[in-house]
């Protein structure tokens, strides 16, 4: 029997940020995916099952990053949430469907997908479209059983009505199917009203920053979802590399934020751009501050995040990253 706290379930709300996904009369797939994903997260946490969100806000996360987060975290199951669509309304464009990869084993991935789909269907749907196989990136590149669940057609008003009315019940059903797959007999309980940040929960923003830090600067950064010494050291290494690259400096890349690095860094404020700003944005994410997509441009979103960080750390909240702010960030 598997213990709940030994599991890690990845919940992947599809699309996000500039990627709206499918849409219909102002309704955006990315919003529905996130609404359901947060409910599934809360239901999993209510059962004391660890969960990792690939995103928990309206941000864009690449498909590669979503798969890498799950793989690096050693997850046991990957559940990607979507809404279906079609170029035009037809009688058959309705109902729920679950996808697995083309060559995924039936006795593991197929079983998990079928149990989750059956549980969702029990809540009430227009049509059960079954478990199908597809060549989706997140199914192809994840190293654990993975499914892509299409929760009704966004172009179908009845599917939309069912989605809205049964949102929490659908989330419970998804968790029920997951628990059945892992042979956990307890039925889903009531989710808490809000899941506040806590030291026990991996932060997806932190994990995304760790992934970007490693990929962009060629560093080995453990994807833990927690900002620890490894991430701090990697951030300073990245900063020193960025200063040398952007400012033609000759800093020793040693991971020590000493006077030479602080002097070369100077001050960064709105209007600046480049690799140094990109590292500042990653440092903000590592400290739990949402900035959207890090782009190396010190714009209003980065400035607002800097001010929030400064306020929390009793610094002058001017939105300018000077030596004192940099020392606190890293």
- Positions marked catalytic: 150
CA end-to-end distance (rounded Å), the chain: 42
Instruction: Kindly write down the DSSP assignment for every residue of 249-281, as one continuous string.
Output: -----SS---HHHHHHH--B-TT-BSHHHHHHH
Mutual angle of helices 29-46 and 167-181, in 10-degree steps: 50
H or E element that contains 132: strand 128-133
Who's near 43: CB < 8 A, 6+ residues apart?
Answer: 171, 172, 174, 175, 188, 191
H or E element that contains 286: helix 275-286
Q: Which two tokens stand for residue 190?
A: 């009531």
Round to whole Å and give the CA distance between 295 and 280: 10
Round to whole Å and give the CA distance between 197 and 49: 16
Round to whole Å and give the CA distance between 283 and 326: 9
Round to whole Å and give the CA distance between 239 and 246: 10
């Amino acid at each position: 029997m598997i213990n709940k706290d030994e599991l890690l379930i990845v919940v992947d709300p599809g699309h996000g940020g500039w990627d709206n996904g499918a849409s219909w009369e102002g309704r955006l797939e990315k919003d529905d995916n996130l609404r359901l994903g947060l409910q599934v997260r809360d239901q999993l946490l209510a059962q004391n099952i660890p969960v990792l969100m690939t995103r928990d806000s309206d941000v864009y996360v690449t498909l590669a990053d979503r798969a890498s987060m799950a793989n690096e975290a050693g997850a046991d199951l990957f559940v990607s949430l979507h809404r279906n669509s079609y170029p035009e309304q037809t009688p058959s464009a309705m109902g729920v469907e679950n996808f697995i990869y083309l060559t995924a084993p039936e006795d593991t991935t197929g079983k998990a997908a079928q149990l989750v789909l059956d549980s969702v269907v029990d809540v009430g749907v227009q049509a059960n479209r079954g478990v199908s196989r597809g060549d989706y990136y997140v199914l192809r590149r994840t190293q654990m059983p993975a499914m892509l669940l299409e929760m009704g057609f966004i172009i179908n008003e009845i599917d939309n009505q069912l989605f809205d009315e049964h949102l929490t019940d659908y989330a419970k059903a998804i968790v029920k199917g997951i628990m059945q797959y892992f042979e956990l007999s307890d039925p889903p309980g009531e989710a808490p009203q809000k899941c506040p940040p806590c030291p026990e929960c991996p932060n997806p923003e932190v994990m995304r920053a760790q992934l970007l830090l490693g990929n962009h600067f060629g560093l080995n950064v453990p994807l833990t979802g927690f900002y620890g010494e490894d991430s701090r050291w990697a951030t300073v290494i990245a900063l020193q590399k960025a200063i040398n690259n952007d400012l033609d400096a000759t800093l020793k890349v040693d991971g020590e934020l000493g006077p030479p690095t602080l002097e070369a860094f100077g001050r960064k404020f709105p209007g600046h751009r480049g690799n140094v700003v990109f590292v500042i944005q990653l440092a903000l994410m590592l400290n739990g501050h949402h900035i959207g997509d890090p782009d190396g441009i010190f714009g209003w979103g980065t400035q607002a995040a800097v001010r929030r960080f400064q306020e929390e750390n009793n610094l002058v909240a001017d939105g300018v990253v000077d030596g004192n702010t940099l020392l606190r960030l890293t």
